[in-house]
Chains A and B, each alone.
Chain A
Amino acid sequence: MDVLPKWADVILIPLINLLLAFIISALVILAIGEDPVFALKTMIQGSLMSTYGWGYTLYYATNFMFTGLAVAVAFHARLFNIGGEGQATLGGLGVALICLSIPWPHWTIAIIAAMIGAAAFGAIWAAVPAYLQARRGSHIVITTIMFNYIAFSVLNYMLVNVLRPPGSQDPASARFPEGTNLPTFQEFFAQFGITAFRGAPVNVSFLLAVAACILVWLLIWRTRLGYEIRAFGHSESAAVYAGISPFRITVIAMIISGALAGMMAINNVMGEAERLVLNSVEGAGFIGIAVALMGRSHPFGVFLAALLFGFLFQGGAELGLWTNIPVQLIIVIQALVILFTGALDNMVRMPLERLFLRFRRVG
């Protein structure tokens, strides 16, 4: 029973949800005695009005594309992967181990190895909860939350006891060798004598994230496996009847999801920090949930939503610099987006459906 036309479902409802989230955020800003219009101007100024700002916006968007796609792929199999944070943390560990293992001659070789490392570590961290759900019936949401915390402990242990260079007090790995440093947009444009993106961390991984969006689209809508994942997500019993193994799809979907979340480390660990630090993920795994919900689990939607959150993240950082609004405002906006697009979806949908029904009867 599709009451709503497709455009209303994919465009209108997300926009209304987003609007509600922004209105409440504006009220929050008013309540703490600041000017929402000025705040918005500051955010746009800081994130979109210079190549420097865009450089950060795209850098954050790269992270969110990976984690957003991770959540989206799992959503298609009706699995809620809250473990993106832990999977990206482990992905960072994979990247660090690869980058520090041998003196890499050139970044093109290093990035392939690092991608495999990041994806493998992320995938393993997602495969265990998937296996436990499919074979032992433990709830994947709870297990992935627990795995987030376990991942922090693993990373903490590895940084303090294994990866920390001798003589250093900081719980962080050594700097990665020169041969692993990824080219940034700044360096790319500098080749042509153009000064752009100065000091901004956006790098070649952005292109990988865009490629990942396209590949995920192909996977979900153009391959047999993608069909099986969607069929399983729609109805487990129908999928079983069609000869699709729930165990296989649960594990494979989560492996792809975890690998995508892990790949985020290419951007933030290898591309930006160039060493592994504690809490390098900075909540990007959780923002992936908001991005996937906002983007309706479609790779193109995820791409747009990731850009939006990249803007919010960079704009929020600018707010922290130039106004009295703490950067935590972005967490509030993120929460409201998740709340309205994910949990209170029916609040907008039900009246809208009634409205459309009335029009249909008249017409």
Chain B
Amino acid sequence: MDFLTVLQILDSTIRLATPLLFACLAGLFSERAGIFDIGLEGKMLAAAFFAGAIAYTSGSVWLGMLAAIAASVILSLIHGLASITFRGNQLISGVAINFLAAGLTVLIAQDWFRQGGRTPSLSGDARFNNIQLPFAETLEPVPVIGPIYAELISGHSFLVYVGLLSVPFTWWLLFRTRFGLRLRAVGENPAAVDTAGISVIRLRYIAVLICGILCGLAGAYLSTGLQAGFVKDMSAGRGFIALAALIFAKWRPWYALYATLLFGLLQAIAIRFQNVDIGTFTVPVQFMEALPYILTVVILAGFVGKAIPPRAGGEPYVKER
């Protein structure tokens, strides 16, 4: 493997990690506030469809992105209604949202475009184009650093940079602001937050909303950045990989970046090489595909460091006892 191949794999690692990162941070906000969300997958899928559909009909990727966020936020509010207001089972609600998105996207896509549950291909302004960072071309001839800057750091779409910047932002918001402190507290001990005179319900709804917005970005990137248009079931389990990354990252923003980059790398390798040769032994591609899930099971079982979720996660808050 030469330097350029490595660079290309890392390049696609960043692109593949971006939707995972958005979804992972989305889950982070939600779960830190005590709302389990296994509906990340569905929200991402719905967002991907509306981003593709609206970007195609309007010709503007920005309108597509707004539509994606709107769709994802609506699903988030359904999840909030079920799990906060009506104190239902958050896991079941998440399952329902996944299926709702899987079914509705195909139904609407077929009704609007009649192409078997997909949107027409996007081009031009209907997609996020790659941004060339300054001096990328002038620096390219410089050995080692030049190609790294030009190939790896420069030349990604807008949302990739937004994703990378949202990691420090999330860290700052959660660990350096009053809002963040309260948000984390409501996921650990909502009764204490309530006693302090802060509305648990309001805080949890805000967390769920932020989760919706971030999932919207994840979906928008899938259909207008990573690929050119929406296809049926295009989220392909990414919501669950993001969930896995979240556990892997132990619900922390910076670790979330590393975990999603790792899972992105695994995907990039699985796409690039069908079977990985290690001397006499061949690793089948199916194993590479399953690796993120296997790793999550191992992490979750506490064999490599213990992952402890927010204490009040999954439990609806009942004020009066």
Residues of A within 8 A of B (CB): 28, 32-33, 80, 82, 132, 136-139, 141-143, 145-147, 149-150, 153-154, 156-157, 160-161, 286, 289, 293, 324-326, 328-336, 338-339, 342-347, 350
Asked if B96 and A335 make an inter-chain contact with CB atoms under 8 angstroms apart, the answer reads: yes
Asked if B81 and A344 make an inter-chain contact with CB atoms under 8 angstroms apart, the answer reads: yes
Stretch with Cβ within 8 A of A (4 or more), from B102-110, B129-137, B160-168:
B102-110
| Residue of A28, A33, A142, A324 touching B243 (CB-CB under 8 A) | A142
B188 to chain A minimum Cβ distance, whole angstroms, is: 17
B75 to chain A minimum Cβ distance, whole angstroms, is: 11
> Is B141 in contact with chain A by the CB < 8 A criterion?
no
Q: How far is the CA of A331 from the CA of B98 in the complex (A)?
A: 10
Asked if B300 and A142 make an inter-chain contact with CB atoms under 8 angstroms apart, the answer reads: yes
Asked if B300 and A141 make an inter-chain contact with CB atoms under 8 angstroms apart, the answer reads: no
Q: What 1/0 flags go to B277-299 for Cβ under 8 Å of A?
A: 00000001011011001101100
Asked if B100 and A335 make an inter-chain contact with CB atoms under 8 angstroms apart, the answer reads: yes
> Is B89 in contact with chain A by the CB < 8 A criterion?
yes
User: Looking across the interface, which residue of chain A has its beta carbon closest to that of B99?
Assistant: A335
| Residue of B90, B96, B244 touching A338 (CB-CB under 8 A) | B96
Among the interface residues B98, B117, B244, B300, which one has the most CB atoms of the partner chain A within 10 A?
A: B300
22 interchain pairs (CB within 8 A)? A32-B110, A32-B111, A80-B91, A82-B91, A132-B301, A143-B297, A146-B296, A149-B237, A149-B293, A157-B286, A157-B287, A286-B99, A329-B103, A330-B103, A331-B106, A332-B104, A333-B103, A335-B100, A335-B103, A338-B99, A343-B89, A346-B87
Asked if A82 and B286 make an inter-chain contact with CB atoms under 8 angstroms apart, the answer reads: no
Asked if A289 and B102 make an inter-chain contact with CB atoms under 8 angstroms apart, the answer reads: no
Asked if A139 and B104 make an inter-chain contact with CB atoms under 8 angstroms apart, the answer reads: no
Q: How far is the CA of A296 from the CA of B298 in the complex (A)?
A: 33
Q: How far is the CA of A154 from the CA of B240 in the complex (A)?
A: 18
Contacts A293-B92, A334-B103, A343-B92 given; does A138 touch B300 at CB 8 Å: yes
Q: How far is the CA of A330 from the CA of B99 in the complex (A)?
A: 10
Q: How far is the CA of A325 from the CA of B114 in the complex (A)?
A: 11
| Residue of A141, A143, A342 touching B88 (CB-CB under 8 A) | A342
Q: Which residues of A contact B90 (CB under 8 A)?
A: 343
Asked if B300 and A289 make an inter-chain contact with CB atoms under 8 angstroms apart, the answer reads: no
Q: Which residues of B contact A293 (CB under 8 A)?
A: 92
Q: How far is the CA of A346 from the CA of B111 in the complex (A)?
A: 33
> Is B224 in contact with chain A by the CB < 8 A criterion?
no
> Is B86 in contact with chain A by the CB < 8 A criterion?
yes
Q: How far is the CA of A207 from the CA of B95 in the complex (A)?
A: 30
Size of interface on B: residues with Cβ below 8 Å to A: 47
Asked if A339 and B107 make an inter-chain contact with CB atoms under 8 angstroms apart, the answer reads: no
> Is B97 in contact with chain A by the CB < 8 A criterion?
yes
Q: Which residues of A contact B302 (CB under 8 A)?
A: 136-138
Residues of B within 8 A of A (CB): 38, 78, 81-83, 86-93, 95-100, 102-104, 106-108, 110-111, 117, 237, 240, 243-244, 247, 284, 286-287, 289-290, 293-294, 296-297, 300-303, 309
Among the interface residues B108, B237, B247, B290, which one has the most CB atoms of the partner chain A within 10 A?
A: B290
Asked if B100 and A141 make an inter-chain contact with CB atoms under 8 angstroms apart, the answer reads: no
Contacts A142-B247, A142-B300, A149-B293 given; does A334 touch B237 at CB 8 Å: no
Q: Which residues of A contact B104 (CB under 8 A)?
A: 28, 332
Q: How far is the CA of A344 from the CA of B92 in the complex (A)?
A: 10
Q: Nearest 9 pairs between A and B by C-beta?
A: A331-B103, A335-B99, A343-B93, A332-B103, A342-B92, A153-B290, A138-B300, A339-B96, A335-B100
Q: How far is the CA of A161 from the CA of B247 in the complex (A)?
A: 32
User: Looking across the interface, which residue of chain A has its beta carbon closest to that of B83?
Assistant: A343
Asked if A156 and B99 make an inter-chain contact with CB atoms under 8 angstroms apart, the answer reads: no
Asked if B102 and A331 make an inter-chain contact with CB atoms under 8 angstroms apart, the answer reads: yes
B267 to chain A minimum Cβ distance, whole angstroms, is: 13
Asked if A141 and B91 make an inter-chain contact with CB atoms under 8 angstroms apart, the answer reads: yes
Q: How far is the CA of A336 from the CA of B96 in the complex (A)?
A: 7
Contacts A132-B300, A143-B300, A329-B107 given; does A150 touch B96 at CB 8 Å: no
B199 to chain A minimum Cβ distance, whole angstroms, is: 19
Q: How far is the CA of A60 from the CA of B283 in the complex (A)?
A: 37
Q: How far is the CA of A214 from the CA of B237 in the complex (A)?
A: 36
Q: How far is the CA of A155 from the CA of B78 in the complex (A)?
A: 35
Q: How far is the CA of A324 from the CA of B301 in the complex (A)?
A: 47
Q: How far is the CA of A345 from the CA of B92 in the complex (A)?
A: 11
Contacts A157-B286, A326-B117 given; does A149 touch B92 at CB 8 Å: no
Q: How far is the CA of A150 from the CA of B287 in the complex (A)?
A: 9
Contacts A146-B297, A343-B83, A344-B88 given; does A336 touch B100 at CB 8 Å: yes
Q: Which residues of B contact A342 (CB under 8 A)?
A: 88-89, 92-93, 95-96
B27 to chain A minimum Cβ distance, whole angstroms, is: 11
Contacts A32-B111, A343-B83 given; does A147 touch B297 at CB 8 Å: yes
Asked if B301 and A138 make an inter-chain contact with CB atoms under 8 angstroms apart, the answer reads: yes
Asked if A345 and B88 make an inter-chain contact with CB atoms under 8 angstroms apart, the answer reads: yes
Q: How far is the CA of A237 from the CA of B177 in the complex (A)?
A: 39
Contacts A286-B99, A328-B107, A329-B103 given; does A339 touch B93 at CB 8 Å: yes
A164 to chain B minimum Cβ distance, whole angstroms, is: 13
Q: How far is the CA of A153 from the CA of B286 in the complex (A)?
A: 5
Asked if B92 and A346 make an inter-chain contact with CB atoms under 8 angstroms apart, the answer reads: no
Q: Which residues of B contact A161 (CB under 8 A)?
A: 284
A125 to chain B minimum Cβ distance, whole angstroms, is: 12
Q: Which residues of A contact B243 (CB under 8 A)?
A: 142, 145
Contacts A132-B300, A332-B107, A347-B86 given; does A339 touch B100 at CB 8 Å: yes
Q: Which residues of A contact B102 (CB under 8 A)?
A: 328, 331, 335
Q: Which residues of B contact A132 (CB under 8 A)?
A: 297, 300-301
Asked if A328 and B300 make an inter-chain contact with CB atoms under 8 angstroms apart, the answer reads: no
A149 to chain B minimum Cβ distance, whole angstroms, is: 4
Asked if B290 and A344 make an inter-chain contact with CB atoms under 8 angstroms apart, the answer reads: no
User: Looking across the interface, which residue of chain A has its beta carbon closest to that of B79?
Assistant: A343
| Residue of A32, A142, A150 touching B294 (CB-CB under 8 A) | A150
Q: How far is the CA of A28 from the CA of B105 in the complex (A)?
A: 12
User: Looking across the interface, which residue of chain B has its beta carbon closest to that of A129?
Assistant: B297
